[in-house]
Amino acid sequence: MTHTESLRPQAATFGLTTEEYDLLVSRLGREPNALEAAIVGAMWSEHCGYKNSRPLFSAFPTTGPQVLQGPGENAGVVDIGEGWGVAFKMESHNHPSAVEPVQGAATGVGGILRDIFAMGARPFAVLDSLRFGNPDSPRTRFLLNGVVEGISHYGNAIGVPTVGGEVTFHPSYQENPLVNVMALGLLRHEDLAKGTMGAVGNQIVYVGSKTGRDGLGGAVFSSADLSAASQADRPAVQVGDPFMEKLLLEATLEAIQAGLVAGVQDMGAAGLVSSTCEMAYRAGLGITMDLDRVPTREEGMVPMELCLSESQERMILVPMPGREGELLDLLAKWELDVVTIGEVEAHDRYRLTWKGEVVCDLPVALLNEAPKYTREGVESPDIRAKRERDLSGVPVPGDLGAVLVDLLSHPTIASKRPIFERYDHQVMTNTVVVPGAADAAVLRVKGSRMGVAATSDCNPRFVYLDPYTGAAAAVAEAARNLACVGATPLAITDNLNFGNPYEPGVYYQLGQAVAGIADACRALNTPVTGGNVSLYNQYAEGDHKVAIHPTPTIGMVGVLPDVTVRATLDLKPGPHTLYLLGEHATGIGASQYLETVHGLEAGRVPELDLELEGRVIEGTLALIRAGLTTTAHDPSEGGLAVALAEMAIAGGQGLQVTLNVPEGVRPDAVLFGEAHSRVIVAVPVGHEEAAQDLLGGLGVPYAALGESLPGSDRVTIVLSGANVQLSVSLETLKAAWEAPLREILG
Amino acid sequence: MPQYHAKVFVTLKPSILDPQGRTVERALAHLGHANVSGVRVGKLIELTLTGERPEVEAQLAAMTREVLSNPIMEDARWELEERPA
Amino acid sequence: MPQYHAKVFVTLKPSILDPQGRTVERALAHLGHANVSGVRVGKLIELTLTGERPEVEAQLAAMTREVLSNPIMEDARWELEERPA
Amino acid sequence: MNTAVIQFPGSNCDADALHAVRLTLDPDAQFVWHTEAELPPGTELVFLPGGFSYGDHLRSGAIAARSPIMAAVKAHAGRGGFVLGVCNGFQVLTEAGLLPGALSRNRDLHFHCAPVHLRVENAQTAFTGAYQSGQVLEIPIAHGEGNYYADPETIARLEAEGRVVFRYVDNPNGSLNDIAGIVNERGNVLGMMPHPERAVEALLGSEDGRGIFESLKGALVQ
Ligand SMILES: Nc1ncnc2c1ncn2[C@@H]1O[C@H](COP(=O)(O)OP(=O)(O)O)[C@@H](O)[C@H]1O
Ligand SMILES: [Mg+2]
C-alpha cells in the first residue's frame, strides 16, 4: 500500500502530536492515509495506549499464588479456592458522564460487565465509586441524579447487583465528576477465557448490536481537555441497551462453557479496531477483516466510522477451529447479529478491506506499542505549602458534640442509603452483607462455604496533600475494610483519575501515587491485577486550569473461608466492650473535620505504617474468626467519633467511651483526626481476656474504649485528661446523618 | 389572560440508538407483525400555559430546549393551540 | 407495496395520577415557569408499515390496543400517512 | 410440587426463583424457555420470575405476556393449576389478563430495593396457608414499577372477596389500598411485587418468604 500525501499538518485531528506523527511515518516507512492515522491516533491515545502511565506501572507487584490472571487481559482473575476464580476490574466513564450522566454512567456499567464476561466469568457484583462537586449546586444535583439513574437502570435491568461503592463531594470535581465502576465475576478455573486471535486460519466473528455512528472518536475525546469548545461540538452520545447486553452475556458464557471459543474480547474504547488489534497482538499474528461485512445501523457509514465507532454491546469471538458452525448456531438462538468478518493470517499486519480495496495495512505491533513518555514531575509549591502549614493556631471548638453532628451531615459522610436503595443490590440472591451494613460487601458463593468481599476506596484529600502516602493509604483502607467483614485481602484493581499529565504538578502526583500503591500492595500482599487510567480530568476556566484532586481509586477483592463467620459495623444486642485496634490519632491534618469545620484543606497526612496496618488487619481477622467479635468498623472520614456514631446508629443503641488524650495532643485530633490503621471492634462482655490475649499474642496495639449501652439512646464520649465530654442523642445523630443525600437526590 | 394548550413531541435524534424502539420492533415481529420497521419511541408532553401568545411561544421554546428535551440526544418540536376558557 | 408512516400517541387516562408529569411541573415551577399547569407525559411511538391501507389500518388499531398501550390505564390514538417511496 | 420456572430472554430473577423452589418445594424444578408452546407434562406450579422479561422498555411485562408460553400458562391456570408471579412476573400476569389491574411507575419515579413489611391479609389461600392472618413478614422489594392500579370497582371487588393477600405496612410505591399481592377469583394465581424467593435463607437476612412455598407444598391442584 502506498500513500504519499503528508497529513502532518492535521496530526492533531487524529489525536497525534507532530512528533508522534513523525514517529509513525518512520516506523511505517511511508505516509499513512487518513484512516490509518486515525486508527493509530486512537490506539496511541492514553485510553488505549497508556503512553504516559504505562512506564510507571513497572513498579506494581503483579504476581502471587492467588493471581490466576494478572494485568494485560480484559480483567484480572484471582483464585479463591475450590476451583473458583473471581474476575474483577474497575473502569472510568468520567467524560461521558459529565456530558450525559444517565447514558454515560449506564454505558460505564455495560462496558465493565463485558470485560468480566469476556473472561468467561458470570458477573455477580458491581460497585460504583462516584465523585461530585459542590453538593449544593444544581449541576451536582443534575449529575448525581443522572449517574445514579444510569447505573441503576443498567445494573438493575441486566440483573447484576450493585453492592457497594463510595460517593464523595469536593469542589474540584465540579466540572469533572468521576464515575468509576467496578465489576466482579465468578468462574470455574477451566472456563477462563482470553482475548486472543489464537492461531492462523481462525475466523473472526462479530456479535452483538449493529454499528452506528455513536460515541465516535470517544477514545480520543476522553483523552482531551474538556473545554468550552468541546462542549459545543459534542460527539454523539452512546446509548446502552441492557437487554441486548443480557443476551450477549448469556450467549458468550454459553459459548465459552461449551468449549466453542478460542478467544473473546469486548469492543470498548476505539471499538472494532482496539479489540481486534489487541487480540492479534496477543496471538503474535496478523489479520485481515472486510469492513463491508460489519453490520451497520445507519446508511453510508465510512471506514473511519466502522473502525472507531463505540456503539455498545458488541463483542469479537474467535471460534475454535472446526466448530464455527456450532458457535454461529448458538449465537443465532439468542437473536444476536452475528457475522464472520475476517480471518487470522500468518503475517504481522493489521489489514482492512472495504469495497474490494485494502484501506489499512499497518503492523500489528506498531498499533499496540504506543510511544512511552516519562515526564518530569514537580510538586506544586502551593500544595507543598498547604501540607506544611502550621495548624497549631486552629482553635478547638467549644461544642464538640455539635461538631460531630455537623460532620455526620456532611454529604461525604452522610448515609448513602438514598443512593444504594435505587440499586438492586440483592438480585442473584448472593448478597450476604448489603450496602451500608459494613465496610465492604460480602457475597456468598453458591455451592460452597466461601464468601467473596469487595470494596472500593480512595481519600482524594490525602492524595492531594501527599500523593505517595494518600495512594498507599487507599490500598491500606481497602484491605482494612475487607478485614472488617472477615475477608482476607487478595488483590486489587486500580482506577487512576488525574489531571493533564503534561503538567509537571499532575505528573508528579501520578508518579508518586503509583509508587505509593505499589509499595502498599507489596507490603499487604495484594498484587495489582489490572486497572484503568483516566487523565485530563480538568477544566479550563479562562487561562486557569482546574484539575480534579488526584483520585487513584482502589478496588479490592477478598475471600471469607466461611461466609457465616463475618462482621458488620452495627453494635449487636447485649453488652459489649469496645476496643480500638491500632493507635489514636494525634493530629487534625488533612482531615474532613479541618475542611468542614475550619475551612482548611491543609496539613500533613497522618503517617502510614504499613507494617502496623498488616498487624491490625491480622488482629481484626483473628478476632472475627475466633468468634470474639461480630462487629468491626474502621474510622475513616470524620475519625473515631464519626465511626462510633455510625456503629451506634446502625445498631440502634447507645455507647459510652472514655478516650485518653495523650500529652500535647488536641482533643479534636483524638475525636476527628484521620489516622490510618485503626479498627473498632465490640467484644461480648466476659470475653475480653480471650480477645486481649489474642491481640497481645499477635503484637497488635489496642485500647479498651468503653462499652455499648443496649438500653441507652445516647452516644457519650469522655476525653479524660482534657476535661471534655460530649453526649448526643441517637435521634439527633441519626437525623443529621440520614437527611443530606435525600435532599440532594430530591 | 388567555390559556394555551401545548403539545411537545420529543424524539431521539436519528443517529442515536433507540433500545426501546428496537425491542418493540422485535416484539412486534415475534407477534407476526413482520411488515413493521423503523420503530422509534419518543415522548409526548402536554401542558397548559397562561399568558399572551408571543411570550408563551418564547417561553415554550426555551422550556423545550432547556428542560423538556436533551438537545444532545433529542429533537423536539411543539404545537400551541389557544384554549377556550 | 405502499409504505405508511404511523404515529401512535399514548397518554395516561385523565383520572390517573401522572407522577412524571407532576415532577416536570415542579421542576418548571422551580425554574420560574409559574404559569404552567396540567403537565402530562405520554409516549409517542413512530413506525413504518408496509401494505395496503385498509389492512394496515386494521393492523395498527390492533397493535395499538394489544401491545402499544394498556387500556386499563392509557388512552391511545394514531395517525397514518402514506410515505413517498 | 412439579414446578416450571418460565425464562424470558430478559428474566433476571429466574435463577433465584429456581434456587428457592429447589430448596423449599421441588428439588427437580426446571426452567421452561418462553418460546415453548407447552409446559412439561405434570406441571403443578408455574413460577413467573422477576426481571425485565422482554427488554420491557415499553411497559413492564407487556411483550412477555404475548409470548408463546403464556398461552400454555393461561391454559394451566384455567385447569386450576397454580401460578405464582413475582415482581415482573406479577406485571406479566396483569398484562396477560390473568390478574386484574396494572402496575405503573412508583409514585416517586425511583427504583426501590429494600426490605419491606407486608401484612398477610388472607391466610386461607393455597399460597398463604402456612401463615397466620395478620402476620407481618419482612420480604425485600426491588422494582421501579410496582404501583398497583385498578379501577374503583375492581378494587372494591378484590377487597370484598378477600383477594388482597398481602398489604404493605408502609406503602413504598403508591399502590392503591397498599396492595402488594393479589389472587385471582379462583385463588390459584398469585401476583406479588415483593420477592419471596429472596427470603428463604437466614444467611440472606430473612426466611419469611418460605411460607409461600411451604403453603403450596400442602395444597392440591383443584
Ligand atoms: N455509590 C454507592 N453505591 C452503593 N453503595 C454505596 C455507594 N456509596 C456508598 N455505598 C455504601 O455505603 C456504605 C458506607 O460507605 P462509605 O461511607 O464510603 O464507607 P467507608 O468510609 O467505610 O468506606 C458502604 O456499605 C458502601 O458500600
Ligand atoms: Mg470503612
Percentage of residues of chain A with pLDDT beyond 70: 97
pLDDT of residue A223: 46
- How far is the alpha carbon of A215 from chain B, nearest alpha carbon, in Å? 10
Coil vs helix vs strand at A525? coil
pLDDT of residue A370: 87
Residue C44 has pLDDT above 90, yes or no: yes
| Closest-approaching ligand to the CA atom of A480 | 2
Question: A63-68 contacts: CB < 8 A, separation 24 or more?
Answer: A63/A527, A64/A491, A64/A525, A64/A527, A66/A490, A66/A491, A66/A527, A67/A491, A67/A527, A67/A529, A68/A189, A68/A192
pLDDT of residue A2: 65
pLDDT of residue A231: 40
d(CA A524, CA B17): 45
pLDDT of residue A233: 42
C39 in contact with B, Cβ within 8 Å: yes
Residue A165 beta carbon below 6 angstroms from any ligand 1 atom: yes
Confidence of residue A9 (pLDDT cuts 50, 70, 90): confident
- How far is the alpha carbon of B1 from chain D, nearest alpha carbon, in Å? 33
Distance A632 CA to ligand 2 centre (A): 9
Percentage of residues of chain C with pLDDT beyond 90: 69
Distance A636 CA to ligand 2 centre (A): 6
Q: pLDDT tens digits, residue range D25-56?
A: 999 999 999 989 999 999 999 999 998 866 56
List of chain B residues whose C-beta atoms are within 8 Å of the C-beta of residue D66: 27, 31
List of chain C residues whose C-beta atoms are within 8 Å of the C-beta of residue D109: 19-20, 23
Q: Which residue of D has its CA nearest to A447?
A: D19
Task: Please indicate whether residue A633 is annotated as part of the active site.
Answer: no
Q: What residues contact A651, with CB distance under 8 A and at least 6 apart?
A: A570, A571, A572, A631, A708
Dump the DSSP string for A419-472. HHTTS--STTS-EEE-TTSSSSEEEE-TTSS-EEEEEEE--HHHHHH-HHHHHH
Residues in C 23-62 with any Cβ partner in D closer than 8 A: 23
Question: Which 3-state string (H, E, C) describes A352-363?
Answer: EEECCEEEEEEE
Percentage of residues of chain A with pLDDT beyond 90: 79
Residue A420 beta carbon below 6 angstroms from any ligand 1 atom: yes
Residue A719 has pLDDT above 90, yes or no: yes
What is the H or E stretch that residue A579 is in? Answer: strand A576-581
Residue A125 beta carbon below 6 angstroms from any ligand 1 atom: no
Q: How many residues does chain A have?
A: 746
pLDDT of residue A542: 77
Residue A222 beta carbon below 6 angstroms from any ligand 1 atom: no
Residues in D 75-94 with any Cβ partner in A closer than 8 A: none
C66 in contact with D, Cβ within 8 Å: yes
pLDDT of residue A230: 41
Q: Which residue of D has its CA nearest to C65?
A: D62
Which ranges in A159-241 belong to alpha helices (H)? Answer: 218-221, 228-232
Distance A414 CA to ligand 1 centre (A): 10
Residue A220 has pLDDT above 90, yes or no: no
Confidence of residue A615 (pLDDT cuts 50, 70, 90): very high
Residue A167 beta carbon below 6 angstroms from any ligand 1 atom: yes
- How far is the alpha carbon of D188 from chain A, nearest alpha carbon, in Å? 26
Q: What is the pTM of this model?
A: 0.93
The whole-number average pLDDT for the span A92-117 is 94
Dump the DSSP string for A238-251. P---HHHHHHHHHH
Coil vs helix vs strand at A223? coil
d(CA A556, CA A483): 11
For an interface test with B, the pick among D33, D58, D59, D105 (most B C-beta atoms closer than 10 Å) comes out as D58
| Closest-approaching ligand to the CA atom of A151 | 1
Residue A166 beta carbon below 6 angstroms from any ligand 1 atom: yes
Ligand 1 atom having least distance to the Cα of A162? 4
**C17-39 as b/e: b if 16+ CB within 10 A:** ebbbbeebbeebeeeebebbeeb
Residue A221 has pLDDT above 80, yes or no: no
The whole-number average pLDDT for the span A84-107 is 94
Residue A394 has pLDDT above 70, yes or no: yes
Ligand 1 atom having least distance to the Cα of A420? 4
Contact D149 C67 (CB under 8 A): no
d(CA A270, CA A288): 18
Confidence of residue A226 (pLDDT cuts 50, 70, 90): very low
List of chain C residues whose C-beta atoms are within 8 Å of the C-beta of residue D105: 19-20
pLDDT of residue D200: 98
Residue A154 has pLDDT above 80, yes or no: yes
- Residues of D noted as catalytic: 87, 195, 197
Q: Write phi, then psi, for A461 (nearest 5 degrees).
A: -65, -40
Least reliable range by pLDDT among A61-65, A136-140, A225-229, C36-40: A225-229
C37 in contact with B, Cβ within 8 Å: yes
Euclidean distance between the first and the last CA atom of chain B, given in angstroms as a whole number: 9
Enter the C-alpha cell of residue A46: 492514553
Residue A234 has pLDDT above 50, yes or no: no
Least reliable range by pLDDT among A110-124, A364-378, C49-63: A364-378
pLDDT of residue A229: 39
Task: Please indicate whether residue A347 is annotated as part of the active site.
Answer: no
Interface residues on A facing B, Cβ-Cβ cutoff 8 A: 99-100, 103, 209, 212-214, 234, 236-241, 243-244, 297-298, 311-312, 335
Q: How many residues does chain D have?
A: 222
Enter the C-alpha cell of residue D42: 405434570
pLDDT of residue A228: 43
Distance A146 CA to ligand 2 centre (A): 26
Contact C70 D102 (CB under 8 A): yes
Number of Cβ within a 10 Å radius of residue A504? 14
Confidence of residue A724 (pLDDT cuts 50, 70, 90): confident
Confidence of residue A232 (pLDDT cuts 50, 70, 90): very low
Residue A457 beta carbon below 6 angstroms from any ligand 1 atom: yes
d(CA A235, CA A214): 8
d(CA C10, CA C8): 6
The whole-number average pLDDT for the span A183-199 is 94
Q: Which residue of D has its CA nearest to A248?
A: D9
d(CA A192, CA A197): 15
Residue A118 has pLDDT above 90, yes or no: yes
Contact C19 D63 (CB under 8 A): no
- Name the average pLDDT for chain A: 93
D10 in contact with A, Cβ within 8 Å: yes
Residue A224 has pLDDT above 70, yes or no: no
Enter the C-alpha cell of residue A640: 473515631
Coil vs helix vs strand at A636? coil
Q: What residues form DSSP beta bridges with D7?
A: D33
**DSSP category for residue A120:** T
Residues of chain D scoring pLDDT < 70: 53-58, 220-222
